[in-house]
Amino acid sequence: MTPNQITVLRVLAAFAAVALFGRSAYANLAAVGLTVAAIVLDAVDGWVARRKNLATPLGAQFDILGDRVVENLYFTYFAVCGLIPMWVPVLFFVRGTATDFVRGIAAREGRSGFGRNSMLESRWARALVASRASRAAYGVIKCVCFCAVGLQLAVASADAALLGALGELLPRIIAFVAQSLVWLTVAFCVLRGLPVLWEGRRYVAALNVPAVQTPRRAVTMPRRSAA
């Protein structure tokens, strides 16, 4: 499979996971498995691109698009279910739109992706955004967050008899852990977005410079002589 096909596959896995959350115990387990698969495939597409020398600027932008779809899908669904505040998916949408806007402007100058042609030039920006460690850590945090909030949804809709003696305490513990992971994911999301906006400010400023227009010369057409 090509990296772009893997990206499409992980987006489909995320949609399938969201469709299964909260339906039954087995459906919740399947949803958690699909969530893990969706996050793992996020790393697989990059590995395949590097392994087979298929990395392209389009592939890099397509990978980012897949990230945006998966993030907004999960957080919007959990917000609609009332498990997280509505401002969380709004924040992810605004942050993603702003960073992708800056990346799109930089791409016009040939700066795209996470390699040598990346728009991020400083070491701290590359380490925080483009390094494999940062991307892997962000992926793991998102995966654990989505699974934890999904588990919170499953426990909230479960029969009290199935929870046993922990019927009152267990949902509170899971809710506390899930909400803490949501805050951690939000913080990491904002932190990784700041270098993109800072490094990309010069590309945005360049668009604000008026283009120099050269005056057009009047062209006179020769007159035809009367026949």
pLDDT tens for 6-39 read: 999 999 999 999 999 878 878 888 998 899 898 8
Task: Give the C-alpha distances (Å, rounded to integers) separating 103 from 127, 199, 202.
Answer: 17, 10, 12
What does the pLDDT look like over 35-79, one tens digit per residue? 989 888 888 887 888 888 877 777 777 888 888 899 999 999 999
3-state secondary structure the chain: CCHHHHHHHHHHHHHHHHHHCCCCHHHHHHHHHHHHHHHHHHHHHHHHHHHCCCCCHHHHHHHHHHHHHHHHHHHHHHHHCCCCCCHHHHHHHHHHHHHHHHHHHHHCCCCCCCCCCCCCCCHHHHHHHHCHHHHHHHHHHHHHHHHHHHHHHHHHCCCHHHHHHHCCHHHHHHHHHHHHHHHHHHHHHHHHHHHHHHHCHHHHHHHCCCCCCCCCCCCCCCCCCCC
Predicted local confidence at residue 221, as pLDDT: 47
Which residues fall within 8 angstroms of residue 21, CB to CB, at 6 or more apart? Answer: 27, 28, 31, 77, 150, 153, 154
Q: Are 41 and 3 in contact (CB under 8 A)?
A: no
- Tokens encoding 45: 């597409």
Predicted local confidence at residue 206, as pLDDT: 81
Of 161 and 148, which is predicted with more confidence?
148
Q: Which fold has domain 3-203?
A: Four Helix Bundle (Hemerythrin (Met), subunit A) (1.20.120)
Predicted local confidence at residue 84, as pLDDT: 94
Q: Is the pLDDT of residue 189 over 90?
A: yes
What does the pLDDT look like over 149-187, one tens digit per residue? 988 887 776 655 445 555 567 778 888 999 999 999 999
Q: Is the pLDDT of residue 107 over 60?
A: yes
Q: What percentage of the chain reaches a pLDDT higher than 90?
A: 30
Predicted local confidence at residue 225, as pLDDT: 44
